[in-house]
Each structure stands twice: as structure tokens, then as C-alpha cells.
Amino acid sequence: MKALMVFFGFIVFAAIVAFSQITLSFWHSMGDYAKLPLDQLIEEFNRTNPGIRVRANYQGTYDETVTKMKSALLVGAGPDLAMVNIEHIQIFTQDEALMSLEDLVERDPELFPEDFVDEFWQTIIRDGTPYAIPFNISVLMLYYNRDLFRQAGLDPDRPPQTWDELEEMAHKLTVVDARRGRTVQYGLLWGVDPMFYQFEPLVWQNSGDIFNEDMTRCLLDSEEAIDALKRWASWFDMGLSPRDLTIEEGIQSFLMGRIAMGTVSSAGIRYGLENLPWELGVAMLPGNKEKATTLGGGSLAIMSHVSDEKSEAAWTFVKWMVEEKNTLTWYERTGYIPVKKSALDSIEIQLIWRRFPQLRAPVEAIPYARPRHVHENIIEIRSILFNTVERVRQGVEEPEIAFLLAVNRVNQLLK
């Protein structure tokens, strides 16, 4: 009888806990290798916070998530909180879909904006107000095959520092089968995806810019930008980078060891260390007139339509995800950079670097990382710019004409 009473008591207690538990819907864009460590963090949060349950839902790429969220919000649905790409925050603040976190930040005794990396914190500020908390922040890096460097007589501890060195090494790393008249190994993969992510640093490195400061004019018709486009196109013309492969196909060839160097987000470092059949090297992007790389990734935002009870629960989750221990765990399992200065200054990160020295490079790149430009029409703008550089890469349009035409179209969207 006593055992039966204990059993029923447990059932009643479980029912009370379940009834009082707040469930939060969380939409994110972490697929493939990043989904597992994200799910593990969320499982740990749910286990250690029994009054809150976060249900994570993968929604596709950043752009796909934007489309789904906009559609859901139109009919009064959507998540309670979401991972929002830092350049997409503007889209949702325009619609007042994201909750201002100003009050939550100001009255919270445990979260200090000054502890966040300055460059990261600025990405979530709109008109002086924070609308998200930095979480999965990455930088574009140069990945290279240390084994192929050795085979080509190059020092794997000295990756290229400049465009000239990049070209010189890429020539040595490119192997042509003279008998068959085809390239069997390329020295470089510097493709550009539809987010235009990989081309931006080339303009910055050449002392140019993509847009003016207030985002009212595209500046890709400048001499610096056009020269950067010409230099990039020459890598395909010289046969250093494959012209006949999409960026996805190029990445697969790189992973298989058929391309020696490539530009990849720091978020993929741990995947590379665990899955590549060759030794991975990671370095800062080679510069030209300046050093620069692209700051990308996403942040955690609470939707403005949620109740006070849910917003408090969501805030508890957001804060927990960026605690020093958790931002370091996320970094070690992926390559997304720790978002807090205290984590970057910790003994723990030194231990991580001993285990995985390649993870140090993106942290050292922070001073040269520039956030991407934001605008409510940024997705359409990027599509124009991506298609423009693709036509140049394929050799069907001259760089000067291509950027002049693109600037005219983009400026219409900036008005």
C-alpha cells in the first residue's frame, strides 16, 4: 500500500510539473554537423531548468528561416524565440516582430553588455536598442590542406599572408595532367555563395566598401571594388580555381583533397577536424592593402508577440546559452566564436587550443572582422550581387560593366 501511495504521489507530482511547465518554440538554422551540439545544449538546459522546456525546430538556411518566419507572423503564428542571422535583424525590427531587450538587459544583474565582444554586440543594436543576444558568431577563414602543402614543398606552418602569396602558392599547388590536358588538383577555391559572404572581404582588403555608411548607395562601381573583382576573376582565368564547379561542388572537392585551399566559415572547424582524411590548417584570410574578413552568423531573439511569462522564460534560456561555460562548449564543438570577453580570457580556452590549435585562428581574426551591411531588402540585394559576380566568374560579362549595372539595380532597392 505504501509503495502504491508513493507511486501515485510521483504521478501527481509529475502531472503538476508538466502542467506548470512553460514550453517554448525555438526556430533555428543549425543543420548538419552543428545541429547535434545545439540539441545537446538545449537538452542540458531542459534538464537543469525543469520549469521550462525548449522545443527546437530546424527551419533550413538563414534565408529560408526568414521566409518561414515572415509567413508565420502574417497569420499570427511563428516561434516564441528564434535564431536570427545578424543581417536579417533589420527585416524583423522593421515589422516590430522582435522584442526589444533593453529592459531585460538593464534590470538583469547577471548579464553585462560590456562583457560581450564589442564587434559582436554592435551587430544586434538597432537605433541604440538591443533586439537579440549574440550566440553563433563566425568569421570567414582560409582552410588549407597541410598534407598538400608538404607535397608541394610549402611550409604548412606558413599559409599565405597576401594576395600575391596566395597566387604564388596556388600555382605550386595546382597540378595539371599534361597527357590528358586537364587539372587534377586545384590550388584554390574562392567561390561565392548566394549570400555574397565570400566576396565582401576582397573589396575591404582592397580598401573599398560595398555600401556607404547609411546604406543609401552601393559603392561597387568604385575603382577598388572593380579591381578586386578583376583580381578574383583572374584566379579562375589562370586555372587556379575551378570555373566549372558550383561552390557546393567545389567544397566537396576540397573536402576530398582535390583542392588545396579554400574560404570557409570558422563554424566548420570541428567538422573538418573530425571528418577530413587530411590534416587541416586554418588561417586568417590573406590581405592586400588591408587585412579584413567577414563577420557572420546569428543571434538569439525573442518574438514581440509572446506573453510576459514566456518572455521571462525565453530570457532565462537566452542567458543560459551564452554563459561562459556554454559559449565555450559551443565554440569547441563547432568553431563559432565565444561571444564573451570573459570566455576569451579564460584558462578553459587555453586548454581548448591545446586540444584543437586550429580553433585559435578565428579568435585572432576578430580585430579584422567586419559585420555585414544590413537593410530590409538585403536578401534581394545579395541576389543581384551574387548573380553579377557569377556572370564574371563564368567569363560572360566584364567586371566594369557588371558592377556598373549591378549598382544601378541595387540603388533602386536602397531608396
Q: What is the pLDDT of residues 28-87, one digit of tens each?
A: 999 888 999 999 999 999 999 999 999 999 999 998 999 999 999 888 889 999 999 998
pLDDT tens-place string over residues 325-341: 999 999 999 999 999 99
Task: Name which residue leads in pLDDT, 10 or 53.
Answer: 53
Q: Domains in the chain, please, with CATH?
A: 23-138+296-367 (3.40.190.10), 139-295+371-414 (3.40.190.10)
Q: 60: helix, coil or strand?
A: coil
The set of residues, in sequence order, having a beta carbon less than 8 Å from that of 26 and lying 6+ positions away, is: 42, 54, 55, 56, 57, 79, 80, 81, 82, 83, 317
Q: Show Cβ contacts of residue 265 under 8 Å, excluding neighbours closer than 6 positions.
A: 138, 139, 140, 141, 197, 296, 335
pLDDT score, position 194: 86
CA dihedral 153, 158, 162, 163 (to 10 degrees): 40
Mean pLDDT of the chain, nearest integer: 92
pLDDT digits (tens, 9 = 90+) for 264-294: 999 999 999 999 999 999 999 999 999 999 9
Alpha-carbon distance 23 to 43, whole Å?
13
Cα dihedral 381, 386, 392, 397, rounded to 10, equals: -40
Residue 95 pLDDT: 84
Place of cell 508538466: 18
pLDDT of 299 strictly over 50: yes
Residue 304: its pLDDT value, please?
94
Block residue for cell numbers 570566455:
343
Backbone angles phi, psi at 397, to 5 degrees: -150, 140
| pLDDT tens string 188-246 | 999 898 888 899 999 999 999 999 998 999 999 999 999 999 999 999 999 999 998 88
Give residue 13's pLDDT band: very low, low, confident or very high (50, 70, 90): very low
Residue 19 scores a pLDDT above 90: no
What's the N-to-C CA distance of the chain in angstroms?
A: 77
pLDDT over 60 at 12, yes or no: no
Q: pLDDT confidence of 16, banded at 50, 70, 90?
A: very low
Sign of CA dihedral 159, 162, 163, 169: negative
CB 358 within 8 A of CB 280: yes
Q: How many helices (H) and strands (E) does the chain have?
A: 19, 12
The dihedral through the CA atoms of 140, 262, 167, 234 has a sign that is negative
Residue 134 backbone dihedrals phi, psi, to 5 degrees: -55, 140
CA distance 377 to 91: 8
Rounded to whole angstroms, how far apart are CA atoms 9 and 4?
Answer: 8
Q: In the predicted model, what is the mean pLDDT of residues 144-155?
A: 98
For residue 204, the model assigns a pLDDT of 98
Residue 8 has pLDDT above 50, yes or no: no
The three cell numbers locating residue 130: 538591443
Q: Could you tell me the pLDDT band of residue 14, with boundaries at 50, 70 and 90?
A: very low
Please report the pLDDT score of residue 37 as a whole number: 97
Percent of the chain with pLDDT over 70: 95
CA 342 to each of CA 311, 318, 322: distance values in angstroms, whole numbers, following the listed order = 26, 17, 11
Query: Is residue 105 predicted with pLDDT exceeding 60?
Result: yes
Instruction: Evaluate if residue 182 carries a pLDDT over 80.
Output: yes
Provide the pLDDT for residue 11: 45
Q: State the pLDDT at residue 181.
A: 81
